[in-house]
């Protein structure tokens, strides 16, 4: 069986994890956390980054930082992972979904402004498949309406928009290091990215259970105490050590994935001419990170048949999100503004193909051959 994913592994993780285990600072913000923080702050040119146990935790911290209150509204696409919405629902917000663009599957920036009300607090663009949303338009809308922008860049590490790294554009952002992502910190993990200076000091407090413990360790206070709301958003240094083994060769991992992505694209491109599939679209201002390779077939029935065919050939391909507004909890916590022209339809057409760091060419060719056989 060809799996859908294999977590990235470089071979250096072992020694770093062992070093973290033997250190005097294993609980968090040890030497490997500091290395990762410096790496990301240099790469992103941001005000501050903080490792978190997951991307979900980073989004929850962002919701606290912008002071989301019951009754506030937050605008986002429905075609996303549940954590994007849950982080704000937990603070009492109402989620307002707008439709996606059929080309990138990102939030349709032209529909955002009409969804804004006096209760709107923030816009949450989700960079699907590591391809950037139209951030200039989104930031302009936010500035004119005095709204926060929090980038859900869970899939976006190493991608750029007009030369700027995803995660470095909004007021706040979040990365994911889940085992399905291009880089992992041992199965789970995340990063809160802070681009607005006003959030730096409070973010450290929220992450340390609402205490000023970080200031204490820097010698800024003589004892630490409870000063704000917060929770346990601090990952162990073992997670950071695992991640550091991949950050050292982040460019190599990125290039390897891009080569595989390009292999799929070139091999499957002839199917476009016959009208059988659509392949991913990358806008000219965007550089993507090959987070996933997907194709879109004509309809749900065709997708079901193709997935069955691939499974019969021992190939595990998968579809992706069920739109959140159609989920069981959707009506309770959200509303869809406007018409669902594309969100549901596009979600029912999409298939993601096996792709991971180090995937062999023979494996990719087996996948391509099986897809061609199906359409022939």
For residue 210, what is the DSSP state? T
Query: How many other β-carbons are positioned within 10 Å of the β-carbon of residue 65?
Result: 21
Contact (Cβ atoms closer than 8 angstroms) between residue 173 and residue 167: yes
The answer, as to whether pTM is greater than 0.85, is yes
Residues 6 or more apart whose CB falls under 8 angstroms from that of 43 comprise 165
H helix runs in the chain, sequence order: 13-21, 31-44, 55-65, 82-89, 135-145, 200-207, 213-217, 237-247, 250-268, 270-273, 300-312, 330-333, 343-347, 361-375
pLDDT of residue 20: 97
pLDDT of residue 227: 95
Give the helix/strand (H/E) hosting 149: strand 148-152
Question: What's the average model confidence in pLDDT over 62-82?
Answer: 98
pLDDT of residue 39: 98
pLDDT band with cut points at 50, 70 and 90 for residue 274: confident
pLDDT tens for 78-90 read 999 999 999 999 9
CA distance 350 to 295: 6
Does residue 30 sit in helix, strand or coil? coil
Q: Is 153 exposed, middle or buried (0-12, 13-18, 19+ CB in 10 A)?
A: buried
> How many alpha carbons fall within 13 Å on the CB side of residue 337?
21
φ, ψ dihedrals at 151, nearest 5°:
-80, 120
Contact (Cβ atoms closer than 8 angstroms) between residue 8 and residue 357: yes
Separation in Å, CA 276 to CA 7, 288, 360: 31, 24, 26
Percentage, residues of the chain above pLDDT 70: 100
């Amino acid at each position: 069986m060809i799996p859908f994913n294999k977590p990235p592994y470089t071979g250096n993780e072992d020694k770093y994890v062992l070093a973290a285990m033997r250190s005097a600072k294993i609980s968090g913000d040890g030497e490997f956390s500091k290395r990762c923080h410096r790496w990301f702050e240099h790469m992103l040119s941001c005000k501050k980054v903080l490792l978190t146990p997951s991307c979900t935790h980073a989004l929850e911290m962002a919701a606290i930082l912008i002071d989301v209150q019951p009754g506030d509204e937050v605008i986002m696409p429905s075609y996303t992972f549940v954590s994007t919405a849950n982080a704000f629902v937990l603070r009492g917000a109402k989620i307002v979904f707008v439709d996606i663009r059929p080309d990138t599957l990102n939030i349709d920036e032209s529909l955002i402004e009409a969804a804004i009300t006096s209760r709107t607090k923030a816009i949450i663009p989700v960079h699907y498949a590591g391809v950037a949303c139209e951030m200039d338009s989104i930031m302009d809308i936010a500035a004119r309406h005095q709204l926060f922008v929090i980038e859900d860049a869970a899939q976006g590490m190493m991608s750029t928009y007009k030369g700027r790294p995803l995660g470095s554009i909004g007021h706040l952002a979040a990365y994911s290091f889940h085992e399905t992502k291009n880089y992992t910190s041992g199965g789970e993990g995340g990063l809160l990215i802070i681009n607005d200076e006003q959030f730096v000091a409070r973010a450290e407090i929220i992450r340390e259970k609402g205490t000023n413990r970080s200031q204490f360790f820097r010698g800024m206070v003589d004892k630490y105490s409870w000063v704000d709301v917060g929770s346990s958003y601090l990952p162990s240094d073992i997670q950071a050590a695992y991640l550091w083994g991949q950050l050292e060769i982040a460019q190599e991992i990125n290039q390897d994935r891009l080569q595989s992505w390009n292999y799929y694209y070139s091999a499957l491109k002839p199917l476009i001419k016959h009208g059988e599939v659509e392949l991913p679209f990358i806008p000219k201002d965007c550089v993507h990170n090959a987070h996933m390779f997907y194709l879109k077939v004509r309809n749900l029935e065709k997708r079901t048949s193709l997935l069955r065919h691939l499974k019969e050939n021992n190939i595990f391909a998968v579809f992706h999100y069920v739109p959140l507004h159609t989920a069981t909890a959707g009506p309770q916590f959200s509303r869809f503004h406007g018409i669902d022209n594309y969100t549901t339809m596009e979600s029912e057409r999409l298939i993601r193909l096996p792709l991971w760091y180090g995937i062999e060419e023979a494996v990719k060719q087996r996948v391509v051959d099986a897809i061609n056989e199906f359409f022939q």
